[in-house]
Amino acid sequence: SWVDESGNGHEFVQGTASAKPTYRVSDADFNNKPVVDCDGGDSLATAAFTADLNPSQFTIFTVAASAGPGANWQGIISSRDNSAFKGYNHFLTGTSDVVANKPASVTSVLSGGDGAGASASKTLRVNGIQEATASSNFHKMTATQSTTVGLAPSAFKLTGQIAEIIMYNRSLTTSEIHEVESYLSQ
Protein backbone atom coordinates (compact mmCIF):
# COMPACT_ATOMS: atom_id res chain seq x y z
CA SER A 1 0.00 0.00 0.00
CA TRP A 2 0.97 3.64 -0.41
CA VAL A 3 -0.33 5.73 2.48
CA ASP A 4 -0.99 9.43 2.02
CA GLU A 5 1.17 11.66 4.23
CA SER A 6 -1.16 14.69 4.01
CA GLY A 7 -3.22 13.66 7.01
CA ASN A 8 -6.30 13.01 4.83
CA GLY A 9 -6.07 9.25 5.31
CA HIS A 10 -5.95 8.20 1.64
CA GLU A 11 -4.46 4.79 1.00
CA PHE A 12 -3.69 3.28 -2.37
CA VAL A 13 -3.62 -0.54 -2.37
CA GLN A 14 -3.35 -3.53 -4.69
CA GLY A 15 -4.73 -6.95 -3.74
CA THR A 16 -3.54 -8.91 -6.78
CA ALA A 17 0.04 -10.10 -6.27
CA SER A 18 1.00 -9.95 -9.96
CA ALA A 19 -0.23 -6.32 -10.23
CA LYS A 20 1.61 -4.98 -7.18
CA PRO A 21 4.35 -2.42 -7.86
CA THR A 22 7.68 -2.86 -6.09
CA TYR A 23 8.65 -0.49 -3.30
CA ARG A 24 12.31 0.47 -3.46
CA VAL A 25 13.75 2.04 -0.28
CA SER A 26 16.40 3.94 -2.23
CA ASP A 27 16.96 4.78 -5.89
CA ALA A 28 20.14 6.58 -6.99
CA ASP A 29 18.29 8.32 -9.85
CA PHE A 30 15.99 9.94 -7.26
CA ASN A 31 18.66 11.25 -4.85
CA ASN A 32 18.52 7.95 -2.96
CA LYS A 33 14.87 8.54 -2.04
CA PRO A 34 12.24 5.78 -2.13
CA VAL A 35 10.23 4.99 -5.27
CA VAL A 36 7.29 2.86 -6.32
CA ASP A 37 8.45 0.83 -9.33
CA CYS A 38 5.81 -0.22 -11.89
CA ASP A 39 6.40 -2.79 -14.63
CA GLY A 40 3.58 -1.79 -17.00
CA GLY A 41 1.05 -4.11 -15.39
CA ASP A 42 1.15 -2.67 -11.87
CA SER A 43 -1.14 -0.21 -10.15
CA LEU A 44 -2.47 0.93 -6.80
CA ALA A 45 -5.96 2.33 -6.18
CA THR A 46 -8.15 3.79 -3.49
CA ALA A 47 -10.72 1.30 -2.23
CA ALA A 48 -13.59 3.53 -3.35
CA PHE A 49 -14.45 6.92 -4.77
CA THR A 50 -12.91 9.79 -2.79
CA ALA A 51 -14.43 13.25 -3.27
CA ASP A 52 -11.40 15.25 -2.16
CA LEU A 53 -9.24 13.51 -4.80
CA ASN A 54 -11.74 14.72 -7.41
CA PRO A 55 -11.97 18.52 -7.07
CA SER A 56 -13.34 20.97 -9.66
CA GLN A 57 -9.92 22.63 -9.93
CA PHE A 58 -6.52 21.23 -9.01
CA THR A 59 -2.76 21.33 -9.29
CA ILE A 60 -0.95 17.98 -9.40
CA PHE A 61 2.81 17.65 -9.05
CA THR A 62 4.64 14.37 -9.61
CA VAL A 63 8.20 13.17 -9.84
CA ALA A 64 8.45 10.05 -11.97
CA ALA A 65 10.56 8.29 -14.57
CA SER A 66 9.69 6.04 -17.46
CA ALA A 67 11.78 3.25 -18.91
CA GLY A 68 11.06 4.74 -22.33
CA PRO A 69 8.29 7.30 -22.73
CA GLY A 70 8.92 7.91 -26.44
CA ALA A 71 5.68 9.18 -27.93
CA ASN A 72 3.57 7.16 -25.50
CA TRP A 73 1.68 8.58 -22.57
CA GLN A 74 2.13 6.70 -19.32
CA GLY A 75 -0.29 7.17 -16.44
CA ILE A 76 0.92 8.36 -13.05
CA ILE A 77 -2.39 9.15 -11.29
CA SER A 78 -5.94 9.07 -12.62
CA SER A 79 -9.59 9.28 -11.64
CA ARG A 80 -10.78 9.07 -15.24
CA ASP A 81 -13.85 7.11 -16.30
CA ASN A 82 -13.61 6.87 -20.07
CA SER A 83 -17.17 5.61 -20.47
CA ALA A 84 -18.58 8.76 -18.85
CA PHE A 85 -15.71 11.09 -19.90
CA LYS A 86 -15.32 12.33 -16.34
CA GLY A 87 -12.28 12.79 -14.14
CA TYR A 88 -8.63 13.46 -14.87
CA ASN A 89 -5.45 11.74 -16.05
CA HIS A 90 -1.95 12.86 -15.13
CA PHE A 91 0.73 11.44 -17.46
CA LEU A 92 4.37 11.25 -18.29
CA THR A 93 4.42 12.23 -21.95
CA GLY A 94 6.74 11.90 -24.89
CA THR A 95 7.88 15.54 -24.73
CA SER A 96 11.48 16.46 -25.42
CA ASP A 97 11.93 17.20 -21.71
CA VAL A 98 11.21 13.62 -20.66
CA VAL A 99 14.27 11.39 -21.01
CA ALA A 100 14.07 7.62 -20.54
CA ASN A 101 15.07 6.47 -17.05
CA LYS A 102 15.59 10.02 -15.75
CA PRO A 103 13.27 11.55 -13.16
CA ALA A 104 10.94 14.24 -14.49
CA SER A 105 8.84 16.74 -12.60
CA VAL A 106 5.38 16.88 -14.19
CA THR A 107 2.82 19.51 -13.17
CA SER A 108 -0.82 19.59 -14.30
CA VAL A 109 -3.03 22.58 -13.53
CA LEU A 110 -6.78 22.70 -14.11
CA SER A 111 -8.33 26.11 -13.46
CA GLY A 112 -11.67 27.80 -14.05
CA GLY A 113 -14.76 25.82 -14.84
CA ASP A 114 -17.05 24.31 -12.28
CA GLY A 115 -16.35 20.59 -12.55
CA ALA A 116 -19.83 20.10 -14.02
CA GLY A 117 -18.91 20.58 -17.68
CA ALA A 118 -18.00 24.25 -17.96
CA SER A 119 -14.88 25.18 -19.89
CA ALA A 120 -11.65 24.94 -17.89
CA SER A 121 -8.05 25.84 -18.66
CA LYS A 122 -5.45 23.05 -18.57
CA THR A 123 -1.70 23.54 -18.33
CA LEU A 124 1.06 20.93 -18.50
CA ARG A 125 4.55 21.71 -17.20
CA VAL A 126 7.54 19.35 -17.45
CA ASN A 127 10.71 20.04 -15.46
CA GLY A 128 9.56 23.61 -14.80
CA ILE A 129 8.84 24.39 -18.45
CA GLN A 130 5.32 24.97 -19.74
CA GLU A 131 4.74 22.37 -22.48
CA ALA A 132 1.07 22.84 -23.35
CA THR A 133 -2.13 24.68 -22.58
CA ALA A 134 -5.66 23.93 -23.66
CA SER A 135 -9.25 24.76 -22.83
CA SER A 136 -12.00 22.18 -22.76
CA ASN A 137 -15.06 21.20 -20.82
CA PHE A 138 -14.24 19.37 -17.60
CA HIS A 139 -16.49 17.00 -15.66
CA LYS A 140 -15.07 15.90 -12.33
CA MET A 141 -15.85 12.45 -11.00
CA THR A 142 -18.71 12.58 -8.53
CA ALA A 143 -19.06 8.90 -7.58
CA THR A 144 -18.00 5.30 -8.19
CA GLN A 145 -14.53 5.65 -9.74
CA SER A 146 -11.52 4.96 -7.53
CA THR A 147 -8.32 6.95 -8.02
CA THR A 148 -5.43 4.91 -9.43
CA VAL A 149 -1.64 5.26 -9.37
CA GLY A 150 0.56 3.66 -12.02
CA LEU A 151 -1.93 3.61 -14.85
CA ALA A 152 -4.64 5.63 -16.50
CA PRO A 153 -7.65 3.96 -18.10
CA SER A 154 -7.02 1.48 -20.90
CA ALA A 155 -3.49 1.28 -22.29
CA PHE A 156 -1.71 4.13 -20.43
CA LYS A 157 0.32 1.97 -18.07
CA LEU A 158 3.53 3.15 -16.43
CA THR A 159 6.75 1.24 -16.93
CA GLY A 160 8.91 3.23 -14.54
CA GLN A 161 9.07 4.75 -11.08
CA ILE A 162 7.06 7.25 -9.06
CA ALA A 163 8.78 9.08 -6.21
CA GLU A 164 6.25 11.76 -5.30
CA ILE A 165 2.65 12.82 -5.92
CA ILE A 166 1.34 16.09 -4.50
CA MET A 167 -2.22 17.25 -5.21
CA TYR A 168 -3.84 20.57 -4.29
CA ASN A 169 -7.59 21.10 -4.58
CA ARG A 170 -7.15 24.44 -6.34
CA SER A 171 -5.21 26.08 -9.10
CA LEU A 172 -2.00 27.35 -7.51
CA THR A 173 -0.53 30.71 -8.44
CA THR A 174 2.55 30.84 -10.64
CA SER A 175 4.67 31.73 -7.61
CA GLU A 176 3.30 28.77 -5.63
CA ILE A 177 3.92 26.43 -8.58
CA HIS A 178 7.52 27.61 -8.80
CA GLU A 179 7.96 27.00 -5.05
CA VAL A 180 6.74 23.41 -5.23
CA GLU A 181 8.67 22.68 -8.43
CA SER A 182 11.82 24.07 -6.78
CA TYR A 183 11.27 21.81 -3.76
CA LEU A 184 10.76 18.78 -6.00
CA SER A 185 13.82 19.53 -8.12
CA GLN A 186 15.96 19.06 -5.05
| Least confident piece of the model among 101-105, 153-157, 175-179 | 153-157
How far are the Cα atoms of 118, 129, 142 from residue 152, in angstroms, in the given order?
23, 23, 18
Mean pLDDT, range 15-24, rounded to an integer:
95
131 within 8 A of 93, measured Cβ to Cβ: yes
Cβ of 171: how many Cβ atoms within 10 Å? Answer: 20
Q: What is the pTM of this model?
A: 0.93
Q: How far apart (Å, rounded) are the C-alpha atoms in residues 62 and 91?
A: 9
pLDDT category at 61 given cuts 50, 70, 90 is very high
Q: DSSP state, 31?
A: T
Q: How far apart (Å, rounded) are the C-alpha atoms in residues 43 and 21?
A: 6
Burial of 39 (0-12, 13-18, 19+ CB in 10 A): middle
Q: How far apart (Å, rounded) are the C-alpha atoms in residues 166 and 59?
A: 8
- What pLDDT score does 91 carry? 81
Indicate whether 130 pLDDT > 60: yes
pLDDT category at 156 given cuts 50, 70, 90 is confident
Average pLDDT of the chain is 89
